[in-house]
Chains A and B, each alone.
Chain A
């Protein structure tokens, strides 16, 4: 087990390094460099800025110093807001993003899985049809469309919830709903198909042949096995709920990392774009690692000693 985790950590660091490198060189490949798109700067000011941000150094030196920064959890200063570090930007936005993201994850687990169970247990009857219809809508309609339509109907027309901000608990409803809509539907569909597949397994017949009660059969034998594929997607889901939040944060004007990211793009704040991308990628990979470990707990066949097949 420890050797497996070590191996996974090593792989993660390698991937992160690839991401940092790719991001760094992509951002430095932007034609003209970071200050060109700005209003015309006097040459001496531009030179001073370049010197300040180390842009006068050869690119590999810049790369090495950036890499060193990343390794020491220092993502450098913002180009746009002098004196503000990317770390501070992320630290200010993180609570908001985490709050909405975690609420959305809770929604996905607490709504998606039960919906899938209800559908599977009532296969081809009306609860199944209803759940599958809802899930198809949720999977097909893009989150930003859901968000804007919800915003229009519930905030502008009906006035039940505020249009922006999180001052009130009601402010969370729409963003969390819009954020989790796709994944609730996705998980509901996955749980349903996984359960239906599990019902066909021989060991389910064994469980019935042993005279176990319906609840035992469903929860102990059926659900546990069906949840294995669901848990596998939960890692990417968590990551997506956090990275995917940038439109939602934009629409509902929530001061999270996602909004910061979109803002950095509009501002061409290159260090911020770079830093937040790397932060997202790292968060995603930690999430996937956690989920893989959880996966091993659910399914004893997965040995945590070697690499995955």
Chain B
């Protein structure tokens, strides 16, 4: 579904993403992990067209999307959430979600009223229907993250990029968010590429994990393999925690 080939991105002398290649197959949940500054969010920005790639190519559903503007990538079926929630603070939840409904994948016979109805469906799905008329700035962190998820789902994506959605959530909220993402995958049949720092969550949710360190891919495999990989343990915790040493 998604294929990255030798993707590179530098900011000045810093190689934020350096020769990264991997694929995401349809229906998978792929985890993307790595210490702070590993280049995970930059990679998401490259995939979604926020930054242009210096080198390499990104293919989505067989089409080259390298260098395409974000709105075209969104219409192609690729949506994202943000590490730091970026709601439209002065807009209501319903109106925010309507923006996605109206501009995501082309829908036939979609008037403004129909868009409001469809947006309500996504808000109901994430549990925000009762707050549809609340301004986004009046929501708590969990609700903001759910609004982001509703907005992303409302574009009807085939591939959803989730950027550290558990950051700042307490264990109960994290579990709820995990359940929500799992049910979204079941209900809408979406594929997920998920950046996460909370290892317990990503190890249980992902079928495959890709590890980045200083912009380079250092490992890829099943969660159990990654958990015991010496390179990964070293990258996260340092030399003294490597078991095989």
Whether both chains belong to one complex is answered with no
Interface residues of chain A, those whose CB is within 8 Å of chain B, are none
Interface residues of chain B, those whose CB is within 8 Å of chain A, are none
